[in-house]
Amino acid sequence: MKEKRNCKKKKIVQFIHGLNMGGAETLVKDYVLGFDKEKYDVSVLCYEHCDSPYEAILRDAGIKVVYVCDDMKHLGKKGIIPKVWNHYQLYFEIRKRLRAMQPDILHTHLTVNTYVWFAHLPKTVKLFHTVHSEPLALWFDGHFLRKIDFKATCRLIQYRKQRMIVLHDKMRQEVNRLFHINNAVVLNNGIRFSVFERAKSKEEVREALQIPQQAFVIGHVGRFSDEKNHAFLLRVFKEIYACDPNAFLLMVGAGEEKEKYQQQLDRSPMKEHYRILSNRSDVADIMQAMDVFVFPSKFEGLSVTMVEAQKSGLPCFVSDAVSVDTKVTDLVTFLSLDKDEKEWAGEVLKMKDSAVRKAFVNQGGEVPVTWDMKQVVKRLENIYEGEA
């Protein structure tokens, strides 16, 4: 008689601030959708609600999303005392939630390790942490809470053997040096190939977005925050528009600086030549409306957005502050931020002619299959099981 197989599923908890539509959040969403549900019971822990379609996507897929903020009595109240109380209450609420969830595997993202250290979880829980951006910019930007998170990460590595996951080899070397370890592991920021392979046509998307079919569309996807460098992007577009009145700027993203740039554009001659879309889950379709992709970030880890743009067959003009590992095809041209907006615009305008653009794209090559999220998730499962 055959021995009965132990069918108990391992519990995986992905812990992140919230489910906004940034790169880290997109990765978490794709991880939990891709895990083998026969082997793993998967859930997501957040401490803040976001106005994001990701919440509905995960809920519809049967993924449990737990929000710590739902249990916090003074949340949203004004004044110093409620804010201070919320800050400290958060530690206790997260500890309570994590202990109740009883994970076998806890995978953290961004700056939440302070809460994990405070939670004092059983030593049977395997800990993993993904570094989503350049370590020095992440932990040493001058904000004291990030320095505290760095110290908590040091303790989790030293006393709880938390395994560090990074996005490219340069980051692996830096993380190993920073934490005095030698086992940081590189895992690609995967994308869902199937979504891009069944994307809508350019004509269909432009019609839906009310973008002229003959327009030369410059695209950007990213949160409206300082490091994404939208101020420079707008100056580049202004130069492009001066040379080509059919130019159109299509931006996707939310964030604290969105309204400021929207007002700038509304007061300019370009007010009829731009569109800003917030919190879209159909980026693969949106990118079909673009002719080129411009990404002038001041600093960046390994951007999922950049891989998506290349999978969409877009010529990409990218700042040299972005990791070279972002270049997975020959569609990427790196430009220095020391160059002015006219020089950037000149490079972008070389792709204005559709025949030139088509020839460039045909020579650009394909995104390697190792970036397919199916393969990335399988490798992550192997890392969890100690096989990588």
Contacts of 39 (CB under 8 A, 6+ apart): 9, 10, 381
Please write the tens of the pLDDT for every residue from 134-156. Answer: 898 889 877 888 999 999 999 99
DSSP H or E stretch at residue 277: strand 274-277
Burial of 264 (0-12, 13-18, 19+ CB in 10 A): middle
Q: Given the DSSP bridges, would you call strands 185-186 and 163-166 parallel, antiparallel or unpaired?
A: parallel
Supply the DSSP symbol for 372: B
pLDDT given for residue 311 in this prediction? 96
pLDDT given for residue 111 in this prediction? 93
pLDDT given for residue 72 in this prediction? 62
pLDDT given for residue 20 in this prediction? 83
Rounded distance, CA 197 to CA 260, Å?
35
Task: Assign 1 a pLDDT band (cuts: 50, 70, 90).
Answer: very low
* Distances, alpha carbon 320 to alpha carbons 4, 34, 58, 102, 231, in Å: 56, 32, 35, 43, 17
**What value does the mean pLDDT take over residues 32-37?**
96
- Tokens representing residue 347 in the block: 């490079």
Residue 81 has pLDDT above 70, yes or no: no
Do 371 and 190 touch, CB atoms closer than 8 A?
Answer: yes
- Tokens representing residue 93 in the block: 């609420």
Please write the tens of the pLDDT for every residue from 227-270. Answer: 999 999 999 999 999 999 999 999 999 888 999 999 999 999 99
**What value does the mean pLDDT take over residues 344-350?**
97
* Distances, alpha carbon 97 to alpha carbons 13, 90, 119, in Å: 11, 10, 9
Task: Assign 388 a pLDDT band (cuts: 50, 70, 90).
Answer: low
Mean pLDDT is lowest, of 62-66, 138-142, 193-197, for: 138-142
Rounded distance, CA 212 to CA 273, Å?
9
- Tokens representing residue 227 in the block: 């490091």
Rounded distance, CA 84 to CA 179, Å?
31
Please write the tens of the pLDDT for every residue from 85-109. Answer: 677 889 999 999 999 999 999 999 9
Which amino acid, one-letter code, is at 364?
G
Rounded distance, CA 225 to CA 356, Å?
33
Mean pLDDT, rounded, of the chain: 91
pLDDT given for residue 83 in this prediction? 63
DSSP track, 109-163: ESS-HHHHHHH---TTSEEEEE--S-HHHHH-SS-HHHHHHHHHHHHHHHHH-PE
Mean pLDDT is lowest, of 133-137, 200-204, 209-213, for: 133-137
Residue 44 has pLDDT above 60, yes or no: yes
As a residue count, the chain comes to 388
pLDDT given for residue 271 in this prediction? 94
Please write the tens of the pLDDT for every residue from 148-181. Answer: 999 999 999 999 999 999 998 989 999 999 999 9
- Higher-pLDDT residue of 281 and 40 is 40
pLDDT given for residue 85 in this prediction? 64
Do 131 and 154 touch, CB atoms closer than 8 A?
Answer: no
Residue 297 has pLDDT above 80, yes or no: yes
Residue 298 has pLDDT above 70, yes or no: yes
Rounded distance, CA 217 to CA 286, Å?
11
pLDDT given for residue 82 in this prediction? 59
Q: How far is CA 41 from the centre of its chain?
A: 24
Instruction: Sketch out the chain's domains with CATH numbers.
Output: 10-190+372-384 (3.40.50.2000), 193-368 (3.40.50.2000)
pLDDT given for residue 279 in this prediction? 75
Residue 116 has pLDDT above 80, yes or no: yes
The tally of CA atoms less than 13 A away on the side-chain side of residue 254 is 13
Rounded distance, CA 283 to CA 315, Å?
16
Share of the chain above pLDDT 90, in %: 76
The tally of CA atoms less than 13 A away on the side-chain side of residue 158 is 10
Rounded distance, CA 312 to CA 114, Å?
38
Rounded distance, CA 113 to CA 92, Å?
14
